[in-house]
Structures are given as structure tokens and as C-alpha cells.
């Protein structure tokens, strides 16, 4: 079908879009579902493509979304397209290779406004309006009502008259717009103790009945059954602060999600309509910093001159610091806070007036910050969708049930079981190692040679010369004569007990290192009183644990084949021999070392697929740190060079030679070469490297492999359990549950919810931050407790509906390049690969780079993303070596260089116009350019324009990103949000260069945040009150929906994707949308939160999986076509609430 069409391009001026025959399977489907017939005009499926053969959305959709632009191509465009095709072909893209996607027929609700851009502006405006009406009076309020002189010690809410300070108990604050702050007494649990709020009219104070309890009779609540075996805190609605439901409400606070988690109505399944404005989020948007800058802010050191500029523009996040930055004046007093942190309820009671005043002081400070900060925010983020998205992000809601407690219980038990198992293995290994004492065999053991093998002896004191020894007594009863005789015969031996040393040595005859692992046995066996405390005593190495220094040695661990060794100064490392004779070597068992290490094992290893996954998951964090740091390069010492020829693994050189026979190399630490590894069995460490790098040097010892496995399994829970167990779950009593849940007989189940404490814009890029849920990994079979997310479970009758935006950031980056360089989707190689490339036929970006450079696709993927996020060639080199320890430094460098040349392209310089007379106007390389500038005694920037990338698949994208990033006031491409003041350079080109990678990264990531905010707005528009926002993390979005609305919500998700992408492309000057990105690949309709609806989340703590272990069935995964069918047809404009909206 391609040949004649290609000729069309050359000659025809009209026919590029055309109808093709309906796909047979599609036609059959339409027949099966006669309800589809109610679409007003049944149009035949169609196929459209653009000039570079990227399939576009069909005419029926195009008409609805881009109503004012017709699809028309000019002669110039076609001429340009020929150029693009040549370029595509040069980069190995075969534009004929893609296969068509079936058409989708939809009738969308009418856009609100002339075009898609107006549409989003107007619906976002509508959504934020009710909240702005509450917020703006607070912002404009010059003078808050005056604080009452005295606070009433009454449980519940009290309102204070602004004039005379009269206290009146109220059910809840009378106004809907409040600045609010909650205080918690840490020793009494997480529930609120007191709170103050102020509206433009008056002050309020809330006091917990817990505090006034000695006066009030508080009915004791019977806890729901959530596993009584564990002493876990149990929160109910009655402990929380009521704000009332009904209609929009707005609460302003500093880190307001913390306060929100203590508001009663937030836990109800029905959304209360209250939204939250967080001054931390506003502050991050206006003055956010990179992690490097944060470290600088925290450090006590005198700042470097180049840092002074941005230091004035930002601060850390605490209210104290933020207030100082925006309001100046006297520092806030934070001293009373300590009573809340360390004190008891009684102390709070005694200092009641002081503490309420402190709390009210924070409210006032928050208000002052808001007054300054909000206008700045509104100015820098002009689009209403930014605020709308932020409000929505702040209302996350995670429903849970009794399974939550069960999960914690099982994870904790499994954790304990595994630690016991690991400990047992270590104990066994220790026992076994003891026998090395014979004939000093330990001297030739590669791990234990440097332990303390000293042995103590049990010696008797000299008997007193004249006095007889005191006679040892014994209760004797019913002994036979013979027994009596023997006792008498050996009585003198028993008598010598008094000659034993008063402090008996532990285990005389055993080596010192082993004795350190043992405990003294209990004395006085006969008395049963000591039973309790002695119960724990067991003979043998009972004190051993995987965290001890001896553990890796007992397991004979090797790194890349070399035995591990510990040095106090450098932490854990390993020994690499450099001499082949043993003469004069005293302690190190060099002979054995040479035998073992003659053929380095590591030479055969290569990173596994699982490892690429992990590297991929860790990439954003790693990069963030990497980008902001300035790297130092050191000269190689001679010794080090000698090593480099011999050893090419990942160990870190630290200039240590032991016994003049081997090098000591440090194990690599995730935070960089200057850190020391304290425990090779710890989390970050184990995850970073493939299974083969850290192994046991004793292949017969299965215990070592098992202990490493166990350490891997336990790490996730160990690092997260405090946060997970600290989640504030509020359990709902029967009367607060929807009647369906109570009537149906819930089988002893309890229901509750978590309000995750999200900072809606918590990073420089305005991404949301939350420590537990937003970093939660997907479940992995070998990670204990990693089924965490699937423990968010919709109550019966509800569904969780959501999707992941397919390769969101890649698309954003590539479409920016496409629009900028060609004005055509898919016209740059990166664009085409993103839109039409497929993994199956090797035409996607990762396959193509992998092929070109000669590495695996998985590795290419990680490195590709790293590059698009702004990482340089150096970082790619590091990754390459991490994945392939066999690559030498030069090999890795060559590969990284080649990859960058293919993708990013060459950096070229163009002369400024004033030099055209003296020099040829052509592309100069960096070297040539600096030489020419030097010859003229000028700076590079004076002679040349800003350099450009040329000739790579991604050159267009990088040129566009750099153009945005180097602007004086960089703005996100979609919603026009500005970069943080802390990174807006006014410090000249050097400053600009310094933060450039971070800024480039910001363009894409902050663009992705815009994208998310737009989706939130669109979903709200399409579904109105029928969905409740649940959680969003990066490119993932989930809603809680009633079951009968689930299919409609799924379809709304698909349409949201279509409209959001259309908006984005329209903003950057394109008026069409490729079919491949128009809809989600699938929308998940599920009962639990998980990546894919069929994931069974088997982990060590959930060995039977969700289906068998928890009785949770797989969910559904709906493509757009399926969603249309299930949602009752393709005419969305007929949904009742949308029709209603239209009528209004």
C-alpha cells in the first residue's frame, strides 16, 4: 500500500488523508454492540497520516479537538518533509515499518471556548474559582482579627468574637476560608491535641477532649477488630478535628497535609469538598532549590561568592526559614514547640495559654507568608490549571481495610523469621570456623586471618598454705552407698571450687572473636526466679547478626572474586594481590590469595536484566544528585595505573597497600567514592549490583548465598517499616460507612483510610513529594513487604481506576524537538522513534541506540533516559562500566562517545554576524571556535552565537531544551510556569552554565508536572463529583470510583489523555495529534493499587499472592475500545452530568 502513496506526496496537493476500508475485526465488534449505533453520525473508520507517515488521529476526532484548523499541507512543508525523510533514513529509521492502529469513534462533549487552549483555561478557571473566592480574601486581608487575650480550655471548637474576645463553643468554624495549624503531643500519639484557625472574621481554637479529659467524660470506644495481637495505635474519627462537609472549603497551612491528616471529614469515603493550600508548595514553586543547594543551605560553612546570589532568593522549608525569607523581621520563636515534641499531655495542659498562643503565632506567620508569597506564585504560574492541579494533588486519599494490619503483621513476622534464619546460619558458620584453631589453620584463611584468635585458660588460684579449703556443700538425699562413696572420694575436687577465679572467663579454650559473640550463661540454675531474664540465653554465638563485622568474613564473601576485607579507615573493601611470591609476607595469606585470584571471576560477568530495572528505578534520584554537583577529576598515581592494567572492576582506589603484597580497594558506595561501606549486607548496596558481584568464596557454603538472599529480601522492609507502620490509619465506625458496606455483612472486616501527607509541589520541578507512598516500589518477589501498594484496597462497591502515561517524559522531550525544528510530529528521528517505533521490530529508540553502540537494549534504555534527563557523557560512562565490568575505561569512554555522537550530535558554533567579513560562515567545532576567539582576544560568546547540536537523533530536542533553559526567565512549555528564583541566573554565563543540566532537566520534568495538572483538571471536568482523587506518582494517576461509574471513569481517563496531549501540542504550535499517543495503552479498573491489574504481588511476606492469600481477584485492563463498549457507547456528551453542565 505504500508505493503509489509515495508518489502522491510528490505530485498531489490534496490527498494525504484518506479513508481506508474498515478493519475487519473492528467491523465485527461494531455489529456485536448495537448500542454503538446511537452515535449520531456513524462514520466509517478512517486512517490518516502525516508527511512522515506517522498515523494521526482520525478526522472525526480532529474536527472536535482542533475545530479551527483544517488539515492542509503546503508545498514548502512537503519539500521540507523530503529532507526530514532523508535525515530519518540516515539514522536508521524505516518510516514504512509501522503498522496502523484501529480508528476510534468518539463524540466528545463540546469544548468550552474557541479551541483546546481556551477550553483548558476555562475549565480550570471554573474549577479553581470557588477556592480562589475563599483564598483571595485571605491574601488581601491586611490585618487579621486580633487574637483573643485568653483562650478557653474547652473541648472542641471555640469561636472568639473579634471585638471583645468572647468565647463561644461552635460545632465547626463558621467561615470556609481558614489559615490553620494543628499541634500534636508526640508522646500521646499522632492524633491532634489542639489547633487554631483564623478567618478574615475571627479566631478559632480547637482543643482535644483528651486534653480536657479529666473534666469531660469521654465515652470509651471499642476498637474495631484489626488484629488485637499487636499493640498498634488505633485512630478513630472522634479524635479528629471536624471542619464540616458540604460545599467548597479552603484551608491554608504550612505543610498543610500534616494538618489535613488530622481533619475528620478527610477520612470519609465521600469527598468533603475542602481543599488545601500549602505554603511549602507555594514556596517550592517560587524559590525551590536543588539537592545540592539544599545541602549548601544546611551547611554552616561560609558560602562561596558564586552562591551568594541564589542564597538570597531561597531558604529551607521550615516555617521559620520561609517566614524569614519572605517577611523578614524578627525570627519566630520555636521554643514552646519542644513541649509538644518531648513533653506529656500534663505539661501541655499546664502551659495551655502559652501553647495555644504559640500555635496561633504560627497561624499568623503562615498568613503573613501567604500574603507575600501567593501574589508571587500567581504571577509566576498564571495558568489556573497549576493551582487546580495543586489543590487536587493535596487531596490524596488511600482506602484500606483490615488487610492493612494483616500486612504489617505478616511483614513483621516474616522479617523476624528471616533474621533468625540468617542469624542461625551465621552461628553455624562461626561454630564451624572455630576448628580453624587447630594447627593455626586460620593463618591461611583468606577472611579470618586478621581476627583475634587468642585463647584464655581457666586457672585455679594457689590454695592457701595452711587452712583447709572450705568444704563445698551439697544437698544429698536418697543416695545409694556407692554414690555416697564416690562423692566422698571426690569431695576434695569439689572443694577446689573456691580456687576458681571470682570472675570466670567465658568459654576458656575458645578464640577471642568467637567469645565476643557469646553471652555468659545464667548463674544459679536451680532458682527459678531468674527464669524470665535468662530465658533468652542460648549456648553458642547467640549475639551474632548480619550487621556485624564478622558476618561477611564468616560467609567468605567475595567481591568480583576477591576476598572482602575490613579497614577501619576505609570501611569494607577487598584484596587484590600484585605480587606472585610470598616471601617476607607476614600476615596476609598471600599464597591462598594468589591461588584464588589468578583468574579474576569478574571478567565473565555482565549485568542482568533485573539490574537494569533497578538502575532505571534509581535513575532520577541518582541524577538529581549528580547534576547539581561539580565533579573533580584526579590524576592517576603510578601505583593506581599499575592496578588499572590488572583490575577493571568497580572497586574504588584508596591508595592502600597491605603487607607490600596486595592492594586494598574500597567497595563502591552509592553516594560516591568518598563514602565508606559500613555493611556489605545492607540495602542500597545489595540492590545496586547484580547477583554475581557479591558472592561467597566458598561454593560449598549454601549458607552464604542464602544469607545474602535474606539480606536482599529484608532490606526493603528494614528501610521502610518505620514509615509504613507509622502511617496514620483512621478506622471508620459503622455509622460512617456507606450503608451498602454495613448491610452486606462485611465478614468481620474493618475499613479505614490514610491521608498520605503529600507536599503537592515538593521539589524544584514541582513534583509532589511524600516519603512512603511516592517512593513505594512495585512489588518484587524477593522484597519483603513490597506488596505495600496493593494494600490500598477499594471498599466493596468501589473501584480504583487509573493509568500510567506511556513514556510521558520521552514524548514531551521529543515533541518539543519536533515542533521546534520541523513543525511536524515525528519529523525528527527521536520524534519518529517515540511515536511509531516499536520494540517488536527493533525500531524504537532504545533498540536503535543499543544496536548502534553494541550494548543490550535494557542498558541502552537506562542510559537514554539519563541523557534526556540531562546527564552527560561522563555519567553514561559510569553506567556502562557499572553494567559491564568487563569494559575497560577506554572502551566505556569510546562507547559513551559514540552514543552521544549518534544521539545528541555534535556541538557546533556559528559566527556572530559582525565577523562574517573576516571568517567563513560555517559550523565550527568547539576547539576551532575557542581558538578563533582566542586569536581575536575575545571571549567565545563575543565571537560566536550560543552553540547548537547538530547531526544527532536528538539534536533538535536538545537545541530546544537548551533554548528554553538558557532564557532569562525560563518557562514551562505548556502552562508557562516559571523556574524557581534560586535557579534563574542573574550571575552571568558562568552561573548559567553551572545550573544548565538542572534547568534542562527541569524543562522536561516540570513539563510533565504541567501535564499531570492538566490531566487532573480534565478528569474533574469529565467526571465531576463522581471520582475521588486517590494518588498520583510521576506519570501515574489513580481515582476511587463507585463500581457503576468505573467504566465511564476509564473512558474519561482515555479522553483525558487525548485532550491533555492535544492541549500540549497546540501550545507548542502543532495542530494535530499522532494516534499512537492519543489514548492510554490501557486503563486499569481494579480493586487494589498495583501497577498492572494482573500482578499477584507475591513477596516473602505474601507468599501465596493476592489471589489466594487475600482473595483478591485480578482487575480489568481496558483499552479505549473496550472502555467505550463498557461505558455504554461512544457519545460522551450524553453523560447526564455533562448534559446538565451544558444546560447551565
Partner 1 sequence: VLDDSHVELLSHGHAYADLLKQQWLSLRPLAAHLGTSHSTEAVSSTHLQRFSFSRTELFRSHFQQLVQEHPRKAKCPTLLKHLCTSYSCQPNPFLRHKAPVTHLITDFLVEPYRALEHFYNMQRESKIWWMRYSSNPSRYRIVPHELPEEADAKDCQGIDIISSYGKEGRVAVEQLSLVMLHGDDFRLPDARTDQSLPPAVIRSVIGLETATCALLLDGCDHGRETQSLLLNRMLAPYQCGIACLEVDPAQAGDLRDLCLHIKDVLQRAGLRLCQGVGYALSKDASQLTEHVDKSDMLGVPYTLLLSEQTLQNGLLQLRSRDTRLAETIHISDVPDYLLNIFKH
Query: What would the DSSP string read from start to end of 221-234?
Result: PPPP-S-TTS----
- From the list 756, 1109, 1115, 1129, which residue makes contact with partner 1 (rule: CB under 8 A)? 1109
Binding characters for partner 1, 1056-1075, by CB under 8 A (x = yes)? --------------------
Q: Which of 1140, 966, 1115, 1134 is nearest to 1050 (CA)?
A: 1115
Identify residues 533-592 at the interface with partner 1 (CB under 8 A).
Answer: 535, 537-540
Is the CB of 424 or the CB of 616 nearer to partner 1? 424
Q: CA 966 → CA 783, 811, 987, distances in Å?
A: 43, 21, 12
Closest CA to 271 of 245, 238, 243, 235: 245
Residue from the set 10, 493, 502, 743 that interacts with partner 1 by CB under 8 A: 493
CB of 458 to partner 1, least distance (A): 4
* Closer of 713 and 1004 to partner 1 (Cβ): 713
Q: Which of 855, 316, 862 is nearest to 620 (CA)?
A: 862
When the beta carbons of 457 and 1144 are compared against partner 1, the nearer one is 457
Among 979, 1005, 1004, CA closest to 992: 979
Least distance in Å: CB of 715 to partner 1?
18
723-726: long-range pairs with CB below 8 Å, 24+ = 723/771, 723/772, 724/408, 724/411, 724/772, 724/785, 724/788, 725/232, 725/408, 726/190
Residue 1111 in contact with partner 1, rule: CB under 8 A: yes
Give residue for cell 507502620.
725
The residues facing 798 across adjacent strands are: 1042
Instruction: Check binding of 110 to partner 1 (CB under 8 A).
Output: no
Instruction: Decide if residue 468 touches partner 1 (CB under 8 A).
Output: no
Eight-class DSSP state of 576: E
Q: One symbol per residue from 470 to 489: x for binding partner 1 (CB under 8 A), - otherwise; what is it?
A: --x----------x--xx-x
- Tell me which stretch binds partner 1 (CB under 8 A): 378-386, 393-401, 702-710, 796-804: 702-710
State which residue, 701 or 1055, has the beta carbon closest to partner 1.
701
Residue 424 contacts partner 1 per CB under 8 A: yes
Of the pair 431, 740, the CB lying nearest partner 1 is at 431
Stretch binding partner 1 (CB under 8 A), from 106-114, 505-513, 687-695, 1044-1052:
505-513
Using alpha carbons, list the distances in angstroms from residue 627 to 120, 309, 624, 866: 34, 19, 5, 11
Which H or E element spans position 1050? helix 1046-1067
Task: For residue 1129, give the nearest of 23, 40, 22, 26 by alpha carbon.
Answer: 40
Which residues ranging from 36 to 55 are in contact with partner 1 (CB under 8 A)?
none
User: Contact at 8 Å (CB) between 690 and 601?
Assistant: no
Sole window of 129-137, 435-443, 551-559, 778-786 interacting with partner 1 (rule: CB under 8 A):
435-443
Kindly state the smallest distance separating residue 452's Cβ from partner 1, in Å. Answer: 15
Length of the chain counted residue by residue: 1144
* Residue (110 or 499) nearer to partner 1, CB: 499
DSSP per-residue letters across 335-368: TTHHHHHH--HHHHHHTHHHHHHHHHHHHHHHHH
Report in angstroms how near the CB of residue 495 gets to partner 1 at its nearest.
8
32/462 with CB nearer partner 1: 462
Write out the three cell numbers for 371.
500574603
Instruction: For residue 752, give the 3-state DSSP assignment.
Output: strand
- Judged by CB under 8 A, which stretch of 100-108, 290-298, 424-432, 854-862 contacts partner 1? 424-432
Residue among 489, 196, 158, 230 nearest 336 (CA): 196
CB of 56 to partner 1, least distance (A): 49
Does 113 contact partner 1 by CB under 8 A? no
What 3-state DSSP class applies to 32? helix
Q: Can you tell me which of 201, 706, 906, 1126 binds partner 1, judged by CB under 8 A? A: 706
| SS3 call for 573 | strand
* Comparison of 544 and 1004: residue with beta carbon closer to partner 1: 544
Please list, in sequence order, all residues whose beta carbon lies within 8 angstroms of the beta carbon of residue 602, skipping any fewer than 6 positions away.
560, 561, 649, 693, 885, 886
Q: Is 1113 in the site for partner 1 (CB under 8 A)?
A: no
Give, as one character, the DSSP assignment of residue 39. Answer: S
Tell which phi-psi region holds residue 1118, choosing left (phi > 0), alpha (psi between -120 and 50) or beta: beta
Applying CB under 8 A, does 443 fall inside the site for partner 1?
no
Q: Establish if 744 lies at the interface with partner 1 (CB under 8 A).
A: no
For the chain, give the longest Cα–Cα distance: 128
The residues with which 753 forms a beta bridge, in sequence order, are: 399, 730
Does 434 contact partner 1 by CB under 8 A? yes
- Residue whose CB is less far from partner 1, 216 or 1108: 1108
The 377-416 contact track toward partner 1, x by CB under 8 A, reads -----------------------------x---x--xx--
Pick the binder of partner 1 from 9, 17, 494, 616 (CB under 8 A): 494
Smallest gap from residue 474 Cβ to partner 1 (A): 9
Residue 660 annotated as catalytic: no
**Do residues 233 and 189 lie in contact, with contact meaning Cβ atoms separated by under 8 Å?**
yes
If one asks whether residue 344 binds partner 1 (CB under 8 A), the answer comes out as no
Binding mask 506-535 for partner 1 (x = CB under 8 A): -xxxx---x------xx--xx--------x
Kindly state whether residue 742 participates in binding partner 1, applying the rule CB under 8 A: no
Q: Which is nearer to partner 1, 446 or 703 (CB)?
A: 703
Q: Which is nearer to partner 1, 173 or 795 (CB)?
A: 795
Three-state secondary structure string covering 181-206: EEEECHHHCCCEEEEEEECCCCEEEE
Per-residue DSSP letters for 1110-1132?
Answer: S-----EEE-HHHHHHHTT-SBG
Q: Give, as one character, the DSSP assignment of residue 602.
A: G
Least separation in angstroms between CB 487 and partner 1:
7
What binding mask, one character per residue, do residues 630-659 give for partner 1 by CB under 8 A, x or -? ------------------------------
Torsion angle defined by CA atoms of residues 517, 680, 421 and 520, in that order, rounded to the nearest 10 degrees: 10
Residues 117-176 that bind partner 1 (CB under 8 A): none
CB of residue 502 to partner 1, shortest distance in Å: 13
Cα(582)–Cα(592) distance, integer angstroms: 10
The active-site residue out of 94, 163, 181, 278 is 181
Q: Does 719 bind partner 1 (CB under 8 A)?
A: no
Q: For residues 453 and 685, which CB has a smaller minimum distance to partner 1 in the complex?
A: 453
Identified binder of partner 1 from the candidate list 238, 307, 421, 691, rule CB under 8 A:
421
User: Smallest distance from the beta carbon of 460 to partner 1, in angstroms?
Assistant: 5
Helix ranges (DSSP H) in 751-869: 808-821, 829-836, 845-853, 857-868
How many residues touch partner 1 (CB under 8 A)?
Answer: 57
Is there binding between residue 457 and partner 1 (CB under 8 A)?
A: yes
Residue 693: half-sphere exposure toward Cβ, Cα within 13 Å: 25
Among 557, 701, 800, 1055, contact with partner 1 (rule: CB under 8 A):
701
Nearest CA to 253 among 359, 384, 109? 359
- In the block, cell 478559632 appears at 204
Site residues, partner 1 (CB under 8 A):
406, 410, 413-414, 417, 420-421, 424-425, 428, 431-432, 434-435, 437-438, 457-458, 460, 472, 483, 486-487, 489-490, 493-494, 496-497, 499-500, 507-510, 514, 521-522, 525-526, 535, 537-540, 700-703, 706, 747-748, 1103-1104, 1108-1109, 1111
Catalytic residue ranges = 181
Amino acid at each position: 500500500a505504500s508505493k503509489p502513496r509515495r508518489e502522491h506526496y510528490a505530485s498531489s496537493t490534496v490527498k494525504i488523508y484518506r479513508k481506508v476500508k474498515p478493519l475487519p475485526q473492528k467491523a465485527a465488534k461494531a455489529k456485536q454492540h448495537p448500542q454503538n449505533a446511537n452515535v449520531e453520525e456513524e462514520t466509517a473508520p478512517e486512517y490518516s497520516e502525516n508527511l512522515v507517515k506517522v498515523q494521526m488521529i482520525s478526522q472525526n476526532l480532529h474536527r472536535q479537538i482542533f475545530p479551527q484548523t483544517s488539515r492542509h499541507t503546503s508545498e514548502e512543508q512537503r519539500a521540507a518533509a523530503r529532507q526530514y525523510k532523508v535525515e530519518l533514513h540516515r539514522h536508521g529509521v524505516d518510516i514504512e515499518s509501522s503498522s496502523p492502529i484501529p480508528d476510534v469513534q468518539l463524540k466528545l462533549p463540546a469544548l468550552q471556548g474557541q479551541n483546546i487552549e481556551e477550553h483548558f483555561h476555562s475549565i480550570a478557571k471554573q474549577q479553581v474559582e470557588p477556592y480562589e473566592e475563599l483564598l483571595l480574601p485571605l491574601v488581601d486581608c491586611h490585618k487579621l482579627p486580633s487574637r483573643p487575650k485568653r483562650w478557653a480550655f474547652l473541648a472542641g471548637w471555640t469561636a472568639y468574637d473579634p471585638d471583645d474576645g468572647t468565647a463561644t463553643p461552635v460545632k465547626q468554624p463558621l467561615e470556609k476560608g481558614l489559615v490553620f495549624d494543628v499541634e500534636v503531643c508526640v508522646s500521646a500519639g499522632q492524633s491532634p491535641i489542639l489547633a487554631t484557625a483564623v478567618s478574615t472574621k475571627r479566631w478559632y481554637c480547637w482543643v482535644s477532649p483528651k486534653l480536657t479529659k479529666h473534666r469531660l467524660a469521654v465515652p470509651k470506644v471499642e476498637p474495631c477488630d484489626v488484629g488485637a495481637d499487636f499493640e498498634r495505635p488505633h485512630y478513630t474519627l472522634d479524635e479528629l478535628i471536624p471542619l464540616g462537609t458540604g460545599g467548597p472549603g479552603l484551608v491554608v497551612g504550612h505543610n498543610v497535609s500534616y494538618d489535613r491528616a488530622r481533619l475528620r471529614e478527610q477520612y470519609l469515603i465521600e469527598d468533603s469538598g475542602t481543599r488545601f493550600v500549602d505554603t511549602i508548595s507555594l514556596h517550592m514553586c517560587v524559590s525551590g532549590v536543588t539537592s545540592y543547594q539544599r545541602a549548601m543551605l544546611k551547611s554552616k560553612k561560609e558560602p562561596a561568592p558564586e552562591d551568594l546570589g541564589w542564597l538570597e532568593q531561597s531558604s529551607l522549608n521550615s516555617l521559620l526559614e520561609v517566614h524569614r525569607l519572605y517577611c523578614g523581621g524578627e525570627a519566630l520563636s520555636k521554643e514552646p514547640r519542644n513541649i509538644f515534641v518531648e513533653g506529656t499531655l500534663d505539661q501541655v495542659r499546664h502551659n495551655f495559654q502559652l501553647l495555644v498562643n504559640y500555635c496561633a503565632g504560627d497561624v499568623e506567620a503562615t498568613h503573613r507568608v501567604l500574603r507575600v508569597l501567593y501574589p508571587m506564585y500567581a504571577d509566576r504560574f498564571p495558568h489556573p490549571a497549576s493551582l487546580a492541579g495543586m489543590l487536587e494533588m493535596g487531596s490524596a486519599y488511600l482506602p484500606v481495610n483490615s488487610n492493612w494490619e494483616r500486612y504489617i503483621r505478616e511483614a513483621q513476622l516474616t522479617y523476624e523469621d528471616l533474621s533468625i534464619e540468617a542469624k542461625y546460619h551465621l552461628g553455624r558458620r562461626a561454630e564451624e570456623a572455630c576448628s580453624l584453631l587447630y594447627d593455626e589453620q586460620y593463618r591461611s584463611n583468606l577472611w579470618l586471618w586478621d581476627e583475634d584468635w587468642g585463647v584464655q585458660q581457666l586457672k585455679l588460684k594457689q590454695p592457701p598454705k595452711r587452712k583447709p579449703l572450705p568444704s563445698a556443700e551439697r544437698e544429698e538425699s536418697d543416695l545409694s552407698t556407692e554414690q555416697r562413696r564416690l562423692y566422698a572420694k571426690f569431695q576434695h575436687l569439689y572443694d577446689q571450687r573456691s580456687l576458681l577465679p571470682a570472675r570466670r572467663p567465658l568459654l576458656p579454650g575458645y578464640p577471642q572473636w568467637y567469645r565476643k559473640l557469646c553471652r555468659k550463661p545464667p548463674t544459679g540454675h536451680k532458682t527459678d526466679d531468674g527464669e524470665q531474664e535468662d530465658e533468652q540465653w542460648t549456648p553458642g554465638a547467640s549475639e551474632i547478626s548480619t550487621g556485624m563485622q564478622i558476618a561477611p568474613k564468616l560467609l567468605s564473601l567475595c567481591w568480583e572474586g576477591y576476598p572482602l576485607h575490613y579497614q577501619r579507615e576505609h570501611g569494607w573493601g577487598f584484596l587484590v594481590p600484585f605480587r606472585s611470591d610470598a616471601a617476607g609476607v607476614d600476615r596476609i595469606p598471600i599464597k591462598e590469595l594468589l591461588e584464588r585470584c589468578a583468574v579474576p571471576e569478574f571478567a565473565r560477568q555482565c549485568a542482568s536484566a533485573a539490574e537494569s530495572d533497578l538502575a532505571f528505578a534509581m535513575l532520577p534520584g541518582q541524577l538529581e544528585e549528580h547534576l547539581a554537583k561539580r565533579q573533580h577529576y584526579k590524576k592517576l598515581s603510578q601505583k593506581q595505573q599499575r592496578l588499572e592494567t590488572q583490575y577493571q572492576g568497580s572497586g574504588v582506589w584508596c591508595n592502600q597497600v597491605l603487607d607490600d603484597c596486595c592492594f586494598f580497594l574500597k567497595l563502591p558506595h552509592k553516594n560516591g567514592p568518598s563514602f565508606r561501606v559500613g555493611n556489605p549486607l545492607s540495602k542500597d548496596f545489595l540492590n545496586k549490583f547484580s547477583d554475581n558481584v557479591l558472592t561467597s568464596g566458598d561454593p560449598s557454603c549454601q549458607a552464604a548465598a542464602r544469607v545474602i538472599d535474606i539480606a536482599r529480601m529484608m532490606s526493603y522492609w528494614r528501610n521502610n517499616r518505620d514509615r509504613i507502620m507509622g502511617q496514620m490509619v483512621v478506622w471508620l465506625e459503622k455509622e460512617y460507612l456507606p450503608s451498602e458496606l454495613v448491610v452486606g455483612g462485611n465478614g468481620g472486616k474493618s475499613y479505614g483510610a490514610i491521608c498520605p501527607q503529600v507536599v503537592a509541589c515538593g521539589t524544584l520541578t514541582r513534583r509532589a513529594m511524600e516519603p512512603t507512598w511516592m517512593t513505594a516500589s512495585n512489588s518484587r518477589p524477593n522484597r519483603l513487604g513490597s506488596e505495600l501498594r496493593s494494600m490500598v484496597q477499594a471498599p466493596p462497591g468501589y473501584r480504583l481506576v487509573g493509568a500510567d502515561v506511556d513514556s510521558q517524559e520521552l514524548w514531551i522531550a521529543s515533541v518539543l524537538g519536533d515542533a521546534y525544528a520541523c513543525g511536524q510530529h515525528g519529523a525528527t528521528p527521536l520524534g519518529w522513534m517515540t511515536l511509531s517505533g516499536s520494540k517488536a521490530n527493533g525500531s524504537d529508540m532504545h533498540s536503535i541506540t543499543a544496536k548502534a553502540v553494541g550494548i543490550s537494549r535494557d542498558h541502552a534504555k537506562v542510559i537514554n533516559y539519563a541523557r534526556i534527563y540531562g546527564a552527560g557523557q561522563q555519567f553514561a560512562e559510569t553506567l556502562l562500566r557499572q553494567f559491564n565490568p568487563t569494559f575497560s575505561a577506554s572502551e566505556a569512554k569510546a562507547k559513551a562517545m559514540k552514543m552521544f555522537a549518534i544521539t545528541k550530535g555534535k556541538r557546533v558554533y556559528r559566527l556572530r554576524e559582525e565577523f562574517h567579513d573576516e571568517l567563513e560562515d560555517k559550523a565550527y567545532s568547539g576547539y576551532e571556535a575557542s581558538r578563533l576567539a582566542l586569536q581575536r582576544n575575545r571571549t567565545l560568546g563575543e565571537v560566536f552565537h550560543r552553540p547548537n547540536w547538530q547531526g544527532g537523533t536528538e539534536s533538535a530536542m536538545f537545541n530546544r531544551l537548551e533554548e528554553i533553559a538558557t532564557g532569562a526567565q525560563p518557562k514551562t512549555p505548556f502552562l508557562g510556569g516559571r523556574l524557581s528564583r534560586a535557579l534563574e541566573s542573574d550571575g552571568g554565563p558562568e552561573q548559567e552554565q553551572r545550573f544548565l543540566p538542572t534547568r534542562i532537566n527541569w524543562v522536561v520534568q516540570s513539563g510533565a508536572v504541567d501535564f499531570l495538572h492538566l490531566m487532573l483538571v480534565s478528569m474533574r471536568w469529565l467526571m465531576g463529583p463522581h471520582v475521588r482523587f486517590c494518588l498520583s506518582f510521576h506519570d501515574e494517576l489513580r481515582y476511587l470510583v463507585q463500581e457503576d461509574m468505573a467504566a465511564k471513569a476509564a473512558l474519561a481517563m482515555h479522553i483525558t489523555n487525548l485532550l491533555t496531549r492535544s492541549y500540549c501540542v497546540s501550545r507548542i504550535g502543532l495542530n494535530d495529534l499522532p494516534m499512537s499517543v492519543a489514548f492510554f495503552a490501557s486503563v486499569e479498573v481494579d480493586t487494589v493499587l498495583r501497577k498492572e491489574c494482573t500482578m499477584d504481588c507475591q513477596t516473602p511476606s505474601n507468599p501465596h499472592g493476592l489471589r489466594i492469600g487475600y482473595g483478591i481477584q485480578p482487575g480489568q485492563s481496558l483499552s479505549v475500545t473496550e472502555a467505550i463498549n463498557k461505558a455504554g457507547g461512544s457519545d460522551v456528551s450524553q453523560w447526564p452530568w455533562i448534559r446538565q453542565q451544558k444546560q447551565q
